[in-house]
Amino acid sequence: MTKTPTKRLHEPPAASAGAGDQVAITAASPGRMVGYVILSLWRRDMMHLLRERSRWIGVIVQPLIFWALIGVGMGGALARFGGEGDYLAYFFPGIVAMIVLFTAVFATMSVIEDRQRGFLQQVMVLPSSRAAIVLGKTAGVTTMAVVQVSLTMAVAPLAGVDLLGVHWPMFFAALILGCAGLTSLNFSLAWVVNSTAGYHGVMAVVMLPLWVLSGAMFPAGEGWMGWAMRLNPMAYLVDGLRHAMAGGFSPDANSGAGFGLTVLAGTAAVFTALAVRTVARSTHNARV
C-alpha cells in the first residue's frame, strides 16, 4: 500500500534570498505574505551588512574624516574672525545626518542591481502588496543606519557631547523617521533610474545639496537660503539630532524639537507613499 503525499499547509511562507537570490514561494494568505516579505527583505539587508563590512565602515569613516578636517579648518577660520563657540561640536550632528544619508544612498543602490538580476521581479509575483517591498527595504536600511550611527556615537565625546546627557528617545526618533523618509525617497529614485552611474549623478545633484542646506555646516540665514532650509526635510533631521545631543533643547537648532519630529513623520509617510506608487505604476506599465 502506497502512501499519498500530504501537503504541508502549516509550513511558514517565505520570500527570502537564498542561493542565487532565488525567491521561495509557499502557500499563504496575502496578509501573512506581507509580513514575510518585509521580514525577508529586512533579513537580506542584515546579511549584506554583515558580509560587506568594509563598505559600511567606509560610510562611517569618511564622514568622520570630513568632520575632523572641515571642523578644525572652519573652527580656526571662525576664531580668526572673532567667532565664538566650538565648531566641531556644532558640526557633529550634521555629520551624523551625513552618515544617515550615505547609508540610505548606498543601500538603495542595490535596488537597481536587484531589478537587473530579476530578484525584485520574483518578489513582485508573490501574493503581497507593493508596500511590503518598500517597507521591507526601509526597515533594513533604517536598521543599518541605527547600527552605524550607534558606532559613530562612540566618538561623540570628542565633540563635547555628554553621552549620559543625550535625550536618547528623541535621538532615535529623529534618526528612524529621518532615515525612513530618505530611504523611501532614494528608493523611488533608484526604481526609475536604470544604471548605478545615473543614480550617482542624481545623488550628487539632489542629495548632497540638500545636506549642505540642512543646517549641518551653518545656521539658517535670511533670504532664499533661509527659506530653502525651512523647506528642506533633512534640516529637521539635523535639528532633531542637535536637540537630542544637547539633552532636549539646543539654541543652535533652527526649529523646535516637537515641530521637527512632526515634519519628519509627515515626510516619511509622504515619501513612503510615493515609493509605493512608483512601484505600483511601473508594474502597471509593464503589464500594459
Q: In whole angstroms, what is the distance from residue 285 CA to residue 288 CA?
A: 5
pLDDT mean over 104-131: 78
Predicted confidence at residue 246, as pLDDT, reads 93
pLDDT at position 2 over 80? no
Task: Indicate the residue type of 132.
Answer: A
220-230 per-position pLDDT tens digit? 777 788 888 88
pLDDT mean over 55-63: 70
DSSP conformation letters of 75-105: HHHHHHTT--S-HHHHHHHHHHHHHHHHHHH
pLDDT at position 211 over 50? yes
pLDDT band (50, 70, 90) for residue 279: confident
pLDDT mean over 196-210: 83
For Cα atoms 270, 274, 277, give the angle at the middle one, nearest 5 degrees: 140
pLDDT mean over 274-283: 83
